[in-house]
Chains A and B, each alone.
Chain A
Amino acid sequence: MLAFLVRRLLTLALTAWLATLVVFAVLEAIPGDPALVMLGTSAQPEAVAALRAQMGLDRPWPVRYAGWVGGMLHGDFGTSLTYARPVAGLVADRLAITLPLAGLALLLSAGIAIPLGLFAAGRQGRAGDWAVMAFGQMGIAVPGFWFAILLILLFSVRLGWFSAGGFPGWEAGAGPALKALLLPAVALALPEAAILARITRTAALDTLREEYVRTAVAKGLPRRVVLRRHVLPNALIPVATILGLQFSFLVAGAVVVENVFTLPGLGRLLYQAIGQHDLIVVQSVVVLLAVTVVAVNALVDIACAAIDPRPRVQA
């Protein structure tokens, strides 16, 4: 188990380093000058030059790369070029929205999908199964942003139950804050739940064909108990893997959903920073996301290894 963990950590470090290289190279290659973006079309060349110097952009790229990566190793993510605030603080503020949002969406998606998938597997080929499959097909087909707009039209514009977006801030209390996150989380969760429900159904069906299930049924256990005690734990391995992968999709989906709901989360920060050519913010957020995705996948692997000892032994 220890060797397994060490290998995982090394992969993590290597991926993070590669991510810094790629994101830095890409941002160097695409044209655009943050100082020019800041000062606009009337700016005089000397004012742009003064701002470039203030931003530290007049230094050669190896110096800037080393400064950036070196800073990150010390926990210093640099200062945003546009907001003139430390990136760490900016990101922390935004994570306080995106993480609860993604977490809520993950809970909703698992909470909807696993029971639905088991339900469908238990009724393979019958009406309940068809209904779940149809829901799954629709959830995969409907784009998240469109579903988000429908939710706003119904619950905000027609019914007036929720604001049509925005975030009151956690200082307004957990109630209003969670309320502001609920619709976006539903919009984010639905497409994921659709995929997950299908995966759960397939996994459960596979497990249902196992001999130990037949034995359990033969023993005369009620169907519900068989599903819960024998099918569910074994079907969970592929489900957990997909759930881990889905975390990355949730973060990507958050970029779109946060824009539709005007939530000031990490996705919206990234979106705005790309528009403003705020290189430091884009670099740091992309690396942070890459590390998070790799770390979550590592956690999933470890979790699977805990559920099922085979990968651990074979690897």
Chain B
Amino acid sequence: MPNRQRRAALAITMGAVLGLAGALAAGPVLAQAALRTDLVVGMRLEPPHLDPTAGAAAAIDEVTYANLFEPLTRIDAEGKVVPGLAEKWEVSADGLTYTFHLRKGAKFHDGTDADSADVKFSLDRARGAESVNAQKGYFAAIAGVEAPDARTVVVTLSRPDGLFLFHMASGDAAIVAPESAGANKQTPVGTGPFKFERWVAGDRVVLVRNPDYDGAKPALERVTFRFISDPAAQVAALKAGDIDSFPQFDTYEALPQFRDDGAFTVMVGTTEGETILGTNNARKPFDDLRVRRAMAHAIDRKTLIDGVLFGNGAAIGSHFPPHRAGYVDLTGLYPYDPDKTKALLAEAGLPDGFETTLRLPPPIYARRSGELIAAMLAEVGIRVKVEPMEWAPWLEQVFKGKDYDLTLIAHTEPLDIDIYGRPDYYFNYRSERFNAVGAELDRTQDSAKRNALYGEQQRILAEDAVNGFLFMLPSATVQKSAVQGMWVNRPIQANDVTGVRWK
């Protein structure tokens, strides 16, 4: 082999190495952003299907809510109940009769009228015996649905339900048509300002503007939801300019690099996700209030929030989000105090601590929090065995089977403090006092009185130290700086893009 050839090979290799280094050193290529009418939204998970009335997966609502499907009422960016398919409504004095007046000219995407018969069908379907609605409980108070004329729906309740309008604003209460309901999983037909165009399974769902929408038309003509589960791939897709906006971005450690980059805007807002150290109140030694309080004193929330969320998130002292009216700050009730923990454990007859198991579901916040909490509890003599689990076994064994000591999970449904009143829930918690306040809440419509009652419920849960109350999951959005109108906060899990525009 002549030397010449070998030298040539060497030169080619060197050239490639230098080229690589040069390319890495060069700045990113920025696309010139003209005034666009399309938007590419990044999502971590792909929805299993697109029917919000037949599944709990948040990803279904994150594509369809407010964009494609409309419930009677809607939740806006501030978390308030605003008109949806119903433009207005009246509630009777006893809180048992709701009369909804539907928008004139509302049509489904297949061209048929969206009238009171469709509403009656949707509500009856959700509460019927064959219902596979993930939030069937939202419809439990309904005694009957009448449609006196095409634009009016009268819903009668068997008992007052203070959250009825709020629950009717959820994706699970989306109004669907009897002709198309069966096929909504693959080809959803709603009444919203966007309609379904196509779904490239595993990659993207595309919605286009509905030219026949009877309300205000959105600025965007086309919205593409792309599904990218791998954190490194999410960062790369944003940096490469493939994604315009990535809401619910949970790779918190990557936020600083986007903050430092002028091409991107980072927004950190609130969610409804109370993250708790779920505790089996029926199991020894957690049936002893002193043990639960001892554990509350052993957890340093500041370290937890810094370690898990890189500082992005608010501490909580009970099961209620700080941004909601009615919130009571109870984070000072059990200050971080390992000596206090040891004293309480000794009082409970466990001076040497005890052994227990912490079963963790897959989300990254749960895995990271679990490791930190296990270390914090080890400091005070509580020896925790950490057991990571997949979703399906977690749901089956921990959530449904209540076979656990400790677990860690964010409860993301809005205003879900009522779960502590459910008999047979996985906390195994029962308090007559809490339930009495809950019954009072159902009878109360006045918001000031409701907030006072919520405060009382929060205090009861904190005093009973039912679970370890840790932090609220933040809602981080990373997007190109020219995108305007994405929600900063997530009062419900949705990506309402009806108000989004490019500047």
* A259 in contact with B230 (CB, 8 Å): yes
Q: How far, in angstroms, from A222 to B394 measured CA to CA in the complex? A: 68
Q: Are A40 and B57 interface neighbours, CB within 8 A?
A: yes
* Complex CA–CA separation, A164 to B128 (angstroms): 46
User: SS class of chain A's interface: helix, strand, loop or mixed?
Assistant: helix
Specify which chain A residues have a CB less than 8 angstroms from the CB of B57 in the assembled complex.
38, 40
> A153-B236, A158-B26, A262-B237 known; 12 other A-B pairs, CB under 8 Å?
A30-B392, A31-B396, A38-B55, A40-B56, A42-B413, A46-B129, A154-B20, A160-B31, A164-B239, A165-B236, A262-B230, A272-B202
Interface residues of A in 82-97 (CB under 8 A from B): 82-85, 90, 93-94
A152 to B233, CA, bound (A): 8
Smallest CB gap from A34: residue in B: B392
Task: State in angstroms the CA–CA spacing of A44 and B391 once bound together.
Answer: 18
Interface residue B9 (Cβ < 8 Å from any Cβ of A): yes
A115 interface contact, C-beta 8 A: no
Task: Give how many B residues have a beta carbon under 8 Å from the other chain's beta carbons.
Answer: 59
Chain B residues with Cβ below 8 Å from A265 are: 202
Bitwise interface map of B from 215 to 238 toward A, beta carbon under 8 Å scored 1, else 0? 000000000001111101100110
Closest to A32 in B: B392
Question: Does A32 lie within 8 Å of B132, measured CB to CB?
Answer: no
In the complex, the answer to whether B24 meets A158 with C-beta atoms within 8 Å is yes
CA distance in complex: A261, B24 (Å) = 20
Least Cβ distance of B60 to chain A in Å?
A: 10
Least CB distance, A181 to chain B, in whole angstroms: 13
Instruction: Let me know if A275 and B390 touch, CB within 8 A.
Output: yes
Contact partner of B6 (CB less than 8 A), chosen from A94, A128, A157, A263, is: A128
Stretch from B134-142, B305-313, B315-323, B470-478 at the A interface: B134-142
8 A-B Cβ contacts within 8 A?
A: A39-B132, A85-B186, A94-B202, A152-B232, A152-B240, A158-B23, A159-B26, A166-B204
The 9 closest A-B pairs by CB, nearest first: A264-B202, A40-B56, A32-B392, A160-B29, A82-B48, A277-B392, A164-B240, A164-B236, A156-B240
Contact (Cβ within 8 A) A163 B242: yes
Q: Of A30, A83, A262, which contacts B393 at CB under 8 A?
A: A30
Interface: A51 (CB within 8 A): yes
* Shortest Cβ distance from residue A236 to the other chain B in the assembled complex, whole angstroms: 23
Cross-interface CB contact of A149 among B49, B201, B232, B416, cutoff 8 Å: B232
B498 within 8 A of A: no
Residue interface mask B351-395, A partner, CB < 8 A = 1: 000000000000000000000000000000000000000111101
What residue in chain B is nearest A172 (Cβ atoms)? B200
Closest Cβ neighbor of A274 among chain B residues: B390
Q: A residues within 8 A CB of B56?
A: 38-43
Judge whether A36 and B236 touch: CB under 8 Å.
no
Q: Mark A31-62, 1 if CB is under 8 A from B, else 0.
A: 11110111111111011001100100000000
Q: Which of A37, A50, A166, A261 contacts B131 (CB 8 A)?
A: A50
Q: Do residues B395 and A32 form an inter-chain contact, with CB atoms below 8 A? A: yes
* Residue of A whose beta carbon sits closest to that of B126: A47
Give residues in A with beta carbon < 8 Å to B. Answer: 30-34, 36-44, 46-47, 50-51, 54, 82-85, 90, 93-94, 122-123, 126-128, 131, 149, 152-154, 156-160, 163-169, 259-265, 268-269, 272, 274-277
B269 at the interface (CB under 8 A from A): no
B132-A51 in contact (CB<8A): yes
Q: Report yes or no: A41 in contact with B132, Cβ–Cβ below 8 A.
A: no
Distance of B480 from chain A, by nearest CB (Å): 15
| Per-position binary interface string of chain B over residues 52-64, scored 1 when its CB falls under 8 Å from any chain A CB and 0 otherwise | 0011110000000
Given that A43-B134, A90-B201, A264-B203 are contacting pairs, would A31 and B392 also be in contact in the complex, using a CB cutoff of 8 Å? yes
In the assembled complex, B133 has its CB within 8 A of some CB on chain A? yes
Complex Cα distance, B228 from A191, in Å, reads: 24
Residue B111 lies at the interface, judged by CB distance under 8 Å to chain A: no
Say yes or no: is B1 at the interface (Cβ < 8 Å to chain A): yes
Q: Out of A50, A156, A166, which one reaches B226, CB within 8 Å?
A: A166
Q: How far is the CA of A127 from the CA of B236 in the complex (A)?
A: 37
Tell whether A44 pairs with B136 under 8 Å between CB atoms, given A157-B240, A160-B240, A265-B202: yes
Q: Is B185 an interface residue (CB 8 A)?
A: yes
Given contacts A42-B134, A128-B6, A156-B240, contact A37 B395 (CB under 8 A): yes
Residues 27-67 of chain B, each 1 if its beta carbon lies under 8 Å from chain A, else 0: 01101000000000000001011000011110000000000
Q: A34 → chain B, closest Cβ, in Å?
A: 7
Q: Are B236 and A268 in contact (CB under 8 A)?
A: no
Is the Cβ of A128 less than 8 Å from the Cβ of B1? yes
Contact of B390 among A32, A149, A169 (CB under 8 A): A32
Q: A46-B136, A50-B130 are in contact. Are A36 and B1 (CB under 8 A)?
A: no
Chain A residues within an 8 Å CB radius of B228: 165-166, 262
- A130 CB, nearest partner CB in chain B, Å: 11
A154 contacts B24, C-beta separation under 8 Å: yes
Complex CA gap A259/B240 in Å reads 17
B411 contacts chain A at the CB level, 8 A cutoff = yes
Closest chain-B Cβ to A160's Cβ sits at a distance in Å of 4
**CA distance in complex: A123, B203 (Å):** 47
Chain B residue nearest to A271 (CB atoms) is B229
* B46 cross-chain contacts in A, Cβ below 8 A: 272
Provide the bound-state CA to CA distance between A50 and B48, in Å: 18
Docked Cα-Cα span, A84 to B50, in Å, equals: 11
- Residue numbers in B under 8 Å from A83 (CB-CB): 48-49, 185, 201
B314-352 toward A: CB 8 Å interface, digit per residue (1/0)?
A: 000000000000000000000000000000000000000
B241 interfacial contact with A, CB 8 Å: yes
Query: How far is it, in angstroms, between the C-alpha of A32 and the C-alpha of B397 when the chains are bound?
Result: 8
Closest to A264 in B: B202
**How far is it, in angstroms, between the C-alpha of A54 and the C-alpha of B13 when the chains are bound?**
61
CB contacts under 8 Å to A, within B242-289, are: 242
Interface pair B24/A31, CB less than 8 Å apart: no
Contact of A36 among B232, B242, B396, B416 (CB under 8 A): B396
Q: Which residues in B have their C-beta under 8 angstroms from that of A128?
A: 1, 6, 9
B25 to chain A: closest residue by CB: A158
Contact A123 B393 (CB under 8 A): no
Residue in contact with B203 in the complex, picked from A47, A262, A276, CB distance below 8 Å: A262
Q: Does B399 contact A (CB under 8 A)?
A: yes
Asked if B449 CB lies within 8 Å of chain A CBs, one says no
B117-160 vs A, Cβ < 8 Å mask (1 yes, 0 no): 00000000000011111111100000000000000000000000
* Residues from chain A with Cβ under 8 Å of B55 in the complex: 38-40
